[in-house]
Every structure is written in structure tokens, then in C-alpha cells.
Structure 1
Amino acid sequence: MARSGAADLAPSATGAAAPGGPDAVRPAAVGPTVPGPDGGPLDGLRRVDADVAGAVERELAAVLADRLRDAAAVAPEVAEALRVLERFVVGGGKRIRPTFAWWGWRGAGGDPAAAGAALRAVSALELLQACALVHDDLIDDSATRRGRPTVHVEFAGRHRDGGWSGPADRFGAAAAILLGDIALAWADDTLQSSGLDAAALARAGAPWRAMRTEVLCGQYLDVLAQATADTSTAAAMRVNRFKTAAYTVERPLHIGAALAGADDRLVAAYRGFGTDIGIAFQLRDDMLGVFGDPDVTGKPAGDDLREGKRTLLVALALERAAERGDTASAQVVTGALGDPALDAAGVDRVRDVLTCLGAVDAVEERIAALTASALDALARAEVAEPAAAALAGLAVAATRRQR
């Protein structure tokens, strides 16, 4: 699942970055409504279009406030624990999934009168993302996320600080599993209670269910590849396809289109565009996992290597080393994979090998080719403006980002 740090990729209708920093929490909206002071649906659309990420964040703040009240009715300790999710749901993130879904809905001619319900529905994707991040950090045993302790690390720390009984790490893992699970449950609740009519919810149900299955299956394939040390390019691309591409871009666009009642031709065009951009997005993420600046990404340099990620970048390097009979270079890469003690000098050695073997250039070429293919598919599709321009801007932002 996506491992990059917080950054706002949401473009305006012209494709420009939306204003506001990633940690600027905006006031919560009251209910799933978007009309502005003039009260008209078109005015509401324009206001969301100008800052999709901000509109999504306001919806999420309202949703989370409601859910935390429900949790407090169970026990105050539960609500206090669940507040940790605020930094995943409200306090940061790229909002890329609901943004793609929103523009998918807009590009399919979504009814302005249903904009508030559509906004609430696509915002549910961020709760699914919160679940994915919390669980992914636990699976990878990551220490930080967006420059702060991951959920399992934070709760293990609370256990130690409180002098509680039992193993602290086990408690931290249990808390992370449960918090991730409740975020997933809240995602379903938010979609179903969005205010959309039964027909729209039924149309969105198929891609929503497929997306949940695909991302969890993709996560298992990733874990399996690490366990079996499968460094083939085929395995890497299969993980990219289902772990990231499907739930990051392809299915959010599909969901937005389904909510609007799009025809099969537009859905197919969206899915083709979304698959290419989603894979390119993950390939950029893989590059940042090795070459990214920790001050920008919020993750330690080389963390993907320490976690043993079998990325396309690694697969191509090993493939090229084998073709050349360069066992020394291959050993540098394989020796670093899954080594939790890998230091900065070791990361630098791997970077040099990846560059010298041409793997870095090869991945950059794939990112460029996938982005070009996606933009061509988008240009050929009948996507209403301003969504076509916004989606093109999102595609470029997602694949050229530095965090």
C-alpha cells in the first residue's frame, strides 16, 4: 500500500495544486452538503472543484466526529485510542483516491443536486486508506509514518510508559489491527450513509467490493513475494497492479463513474487510464522508497530495502546483473533486502548499484511510458470538463511527485 509521506496532490479544475498545507485541518462541515453562500448546486460544485482535498477533509472531520461520539458511548478509553486515527484520516494525506473518484463522478456528468452525497461517498475512500496504512505499517514493522510513530509503535510506547501487563509490542500490534479494522468498517458505513439513492449505491457496490478484495489480495501477494524471495519482474508488476493501481486510481475512478451512472465505454476508458497511472504512481513510490529525502517523504532513507520490498526497481537490477554475470552487484542488492540494520552507507551502495545497472533509468522510462499511455486514453475518452483537465493534472502530479 502507498508508503509515501503526506502531500496534497489534489489539483484544481485547471490541474494546479490545491492551496493549503497537508496538516492544515479545516473546520468540519455539518453533514454531506456542498452548496456555497448562494445556495445553488452549481456554486457548490465550483467550490469543491477548486479544492477537492479541502472539501474531502471537511467531510472526514464531520464523519470522524460522529464516529468518535459513538465510540465514547462505548467507553472513553476507546474514543481516546481511536483519536490516533485522526492524523491518518483528517490530519494529512494526499487525498488522491477520493480526488480521483470525485473527478470520475464529475467527468461522467454527475448530477449537481447529488454533489453533497457524492462527496461524502468518495470521502469514504480515505477511511479505507487509513486502514491500509495502519495495517501496512504493522506488516512492514515500520517505525514512522509521516514523520511520526506508526500506530503499533505508539501503542507499544503507551504500554511501556504505563507499566501495563504483558508484552508491549503485542499490545501495540493488537491495537493497530483493531484500529485498522474499525477504519475499514467506518469506510463502509460512510459510503452506505452518504445520502445517495439506492440505485447509485447499487451501481457503486460492485467496484467497491472488487476494490476491497483486490487491495487485500495484492497485500498478500506482496507479503508472499517477500517470504519466498521472489524478485521476478512479473511478481513485482502483479503486486503493483492489485496492491496499488486498482485501489489508488482505477477503482476510485470506476466508483465515481458508477455513482454518476456512466456507460460501459467511459468506465472502460477510466479503468485503462487508472491502471496505467496507478502502476506509474507505485513505481514512483518505489523510487522514493530508495532515493527519497526523509525530510520530505517522512520515512527513513532506504526503508523499503530494510523491509525487503521486492519492487520492480529491485527486480530489474537483479535481472540485469544476472544477464551480465555481475554477481557482486547482485549480492549488494540481495544482501540489503530485509536487513533491518542497513545503514546509510549501505543504502548508498545499493543506490549506486541500481543506477549503474540501469534499473533507475528503466523504471523512469516505464513511468513516462505509462503516463503517456494514460493521458492518450484520457484524451480519447468523452470526459466532461473540467474533469478531463483535472484528471490530466492529477496524472502528472501523481507520477512526478517527490513525496
Structure 2
Amino acid sequence: MTSDISPLDTAGLRQRVDRALADFLARRRADLAAIDPALGPVADAVDAFVLGGGKRLRPAFAYWGYRAAGGPDGDAVVAAVAALELVQASALIHDDLMDRSDTRRGEPAVHRRFEALHGKAGWQGDAAAFGDSAAILLGDLTLVWSDELLHTAGVDPAALARARPVFDAMRTEVTVGQYLDVLTQATGEMSVERAGKVARYKSAKYTVERPLLLGAALAGAPAALSAAYSAFGLPLGEAFQLRDDVLGVFGDPAVTGKPAGDDLREGKRTYLVAAACATAPEADRTELLSRLGDPALDAAGVDRLRTIIESSGALRRTEERIAELTAEAAAALTAADVDPDAAAVLRRLADAATRRTV
């Protein structure tokens, strides 16, 4: 395997996942058209959201977890792991609605897309409420379709039976993790421990650990390998989420496709913010908490809160924590009994997950 190819593209994986998704969504578009032509915009929106971007990181971890466990290549397993992208679509559509985000990947968020559709058509009622309702339903639809894609991928029934509990647990975890995130914003609870738990269930487990375990289940891997995957995947997933937290405050909008400082306007109680609150001077801490969650926070306000976070040492400590977690994950993978070529790709995926800028 050549090292100059992105780990997301090794074995042509990204293109194969995209093709599996496109084929599946084409069939679903036909189903929707048979129900009612008015569902055309629904099919268009799902196509644009699922096929219009995304790193395909979760299918990559699942696929290479499968290959590292000795599973043979095949289009059926690629289609099965592609189902993770529909879970991701559901989570993002709902997340954007809950956070009142206007954009995703530089394009209107789904609720804004359908709000604009309502306004352009001149329909009755409130356009924003229509957009919200549509986003809830499209998020639900993509979650339903994730189950359908997994079941119709063509993998062996015994492998599917092994994978089912992992897939179910993952979808439960990401849903309750989203609730814990909403709850923490509502209660204002602020601690690195609480922020860590929210990150673990909202993102970390379903980004790396559960996809790896899904691949292991599809391959029929022994329990010892699944345990090694958890030891690798959980700290790596947490490092991934910490990188996401940093980008949510310090990321470049031209790269991330999201407005600068959106996590601050949304009042996210992340590890980064909790770490700042733990060490910032009282006046800075009071200012940070008073302005956190203000949807009208302007560019100057974002810059001021960034300064408070950075001067508190929280950004440095978060970067140090990312490095610690990444090293812990690397050590666990080194100790695992896995196919060496596939392990090399997993190492490069780990690097891509924690050093990314988007």
C-alpha cells in the first residue's frame, strides 16, 4: 500500500463508499417518486447532503478494522460500512437544527434549505417552522435508511447478525450523547469530566470505536481483538472530538464551512471551554460564561473569548490532551495482533483524524 495516497482513499475506499451511497439513494429516490412527486425536494436534499461532502472517516475505520481482522475485500462490506454515513447525516441534520446553525460545509443547513423552499414557493404558514419540521423528518429518514442499507448490503447473514448489536449500540450512544450535550447547555454544568462524557458519547465512540467494532464483527474477529480495538478507538475518538472543539472556536470558516466561533454562540460546554473556566482569572471566567451562548456574539466578541481561552492555557492543555490520547491509541494498536498492512492504514487514519483542519 503506497503511503502517498490518503488513508481515506487507500483501496479506492472513498470512491467506493460514494458509489454505494449513490446507488442506494438512487433506489430510494425511485421509491419516493412512486409515493408522490412532491417528495422530489426531499430526495434532492438527501443527495446533496450525503453525496456533497464528508470525509468518509467512519466507513474508513470500519472497513480497515474489518480488513485488519482478516476480512476479505468486497463490495458488500463497503456498502455495509457506507451505512455509517447515513447515521452521520442524521446526526448532523438534527445537530444543525438544535444548534440553529445556518450552514454546513459552506451550504445552507437542511432546515434553512427547506425554509427557503417554503418562502420561494409562497406557501402558507411559517417558513422557519416548515424548515424545522422538514429537518427533523429528513434526519429521521436518513437514520431509517442507514438500517436499510446495512441490511441490503449483501453481507453474509451470520456476519450481519454479529454486526447488528454494534450498530444498534452505536446509534443509541450518539442519540443519548446528543441529549447530554443539550442538557449540559441547559443546566450550565461546567467541568472537564462532564465535557469528556458528552464528547465520548456524542462523538468519540461513534466516530472511531464503534466503526472499528462494526468491522471486527463483520469479520468475525475474536473478543481479544475487539478489546484491542476499543483500547485504540476510544482515546482516538476523544482526541478527534477535542480537535473538533478546537476547530469550533479557532477554525478558519473558509476551511470548516461553518461561521467562526459558532460553538461559542451555541454555548457548547466543551473540554476546551471547561478547561478555560477552570484556570482563567475570575473576571475572565465571568466574562466567558456571561457571553457563552449569545447568538448575537459578533466577530469582536468571538475574538475576545478566544483571547480569554488561549490566555488561560486551555488551548495549550487541549492540544496536549490530544497528543496524550493519540499516543495512548497508537500504543494500543501496536500491541494488537492485526494485519500489518491494514494496521499501517489505521495509523494514518488516526493521524488524519487528529491533525485535521476541517
TM-score over 0.5 (shorter chain): yes
Q: Which amino acid aligns with 2:123?
A: W
Q: Is the 8 A contact 1:214 1:243 kept in 2?
A: yes
1:382, 1:191 → 2: CA distance?
Answer: 27
The equivalent residue for 1:352 is 307
**1:329-369 residue CA offsets vs partner (Å, 9 max, x unmatched):** 11221122110111111111111111111000100000000
> Number of matched residues?
358
Superposed displacement of residue 235, structure 1 = 1.1
**1:219-275 residue CA offsets vs partner (Å, 9 max, x unmatched):** 000000000011111110001111101111100000000000000011011111110
2:7, 2:232 → 1: CA distance?
Answer: 22
Q: Which amino acid aligns with 2:30?
A: R
Tell me the SS of whatever aligns to 1:51: helix
The equivalent residue for 1:144 is 103
Confirm or deny that 1:285 pairs with 2:244: yes
Confirm or deny that 1:17 pairs with 2:21: no
Q: CA RMSD in A?
A: 1.3
Q: Is the 8 A contact 1:332 1:349 kept in 2?
A: no
Q: Which amino acid aligns with 1:83?
A: D
Counterpart pick for 1:195 among 137, 140, 154: 154
1:266, 1:335 → 2: CA distance?
Answer: 47
Higher helix share: 2
Tell me the SS of whatever aligns to 1:109: coil
Q: Which amino acid aligns with 1:124?
A: A
Superposed displacement of residue 162, structure 1 = 1.6
Question: Per the alignment, do residues 170 and 206 of structure 1 end up closer, same or farther by CA in structure 2, a change over 3 Å counting?
Answer: same
Counterpart pick for 2:332 among 350, 371, 377: 377
Superposed displacement of residue 13, structure 1 = 5.9
Q: Which amino acid aligns with 2:344?
A: A
The equivalent residue for 2:118 is 159
**1:71-124 residue CA offsets vs partner (Å, 9 max, x unmatched):** 111111113322111122111101000010000010000034xx2211110000
Counterpart pick for 2:12 among 41, 47, 51: 51
1:118, 1:170 → 2: CA distance?
Answer: 39
Confirm or deny that 1:222 pairs with 2:188: no
Identity %: 56
Q: Give the 5 Å matches for 1:3-402.
A: 14=3, 16-17=5-6, 49-112=10-73, 115-321=74-280, 326-402=281-357
Q: Which amino acid aligns with 2:334?
A: A
**1:4-45 residue CA offsets vs partner (Å, 9 max, x unmatched):** xxxxxxxx76374269xxxxxxxxxxxxxxxxxxxxxxxxxx
**1:37-65 residue CA offsets vs partner (Å, 9 max, x unmatched):** xxxxxxxxxxx843211111111111111
Tell me the SS of whatever aligns to 1:382: coil
Q: Which amino acid aligns with 2:320?
A: E
Superposed displacement of residue 280, structure 1 = 0.3
Q: Is the 8 A contact 2:249 2:262 kept in 1?
A: yes
Q: Is the 8 A contact 2:7 2:345 kept in 1?
A: no
1:82, 1:232 → 2: CA distance?
Answer: 42
1:347, 1:148 → 2: CA distance?
Answer: 22
2:318, 2:200 → 1: CA distance?
Answer: 15
Tell me the SS of whatever aligns to 1:118: helix
1:14, 1:185 → 2: CA distance?
Answer: 37
Superposed displacement of residue 196, structure 1 = 1.2
Q: Which amino acid aligns with 2:169?
A: A
Q: Is the 8 A contact 2:112 2:131 kept in 1?
A: yes
Tell me the SS of whatever aligns to 2:295: coil
Q: Is the 8 A contact 2:235 2:326 kept in 1?
A: yes
TM-score by length of 2: 0.97
The equivalent residue for 1:34 is none
1:80, 1:98 → 2: CA distance?
Answer: 27
Q: Which amino acid aligns with 2:264?
A: L
Question: Per the alignment, do residues 223 and 13 of structure 1 end up closer, same or farther by CA in structure 2, a change over 3 Å counting?
Answer: farther
Question: Per the alignment, do residues 346 and 62 of structure 1 end up closer, same or farther by CA in structure 2, a change over 3 Å counting?
Answer: same
Q: Which amino acid aligns with 1:388?
A: A
TM-score by length of 1: 0.87
2:165, 2:317 → 1: CA distance?
Answer: 36
1:365, 1:278 → 2: CA distance?
Answer: 15
Question: Per the alignment, do residues 258 and 358 of structure 1 end up closer, same or farther by CA in structure 2, a change over 3 Å counting?
Answer: same
2:202, 2:352 → 1: CA distance?
Answer: 20
1:63, 1:179 → 2: CA distance?
Answer: 16
Q: Is the 8 A contact 2:7 2:349 kept in 1?
A: no
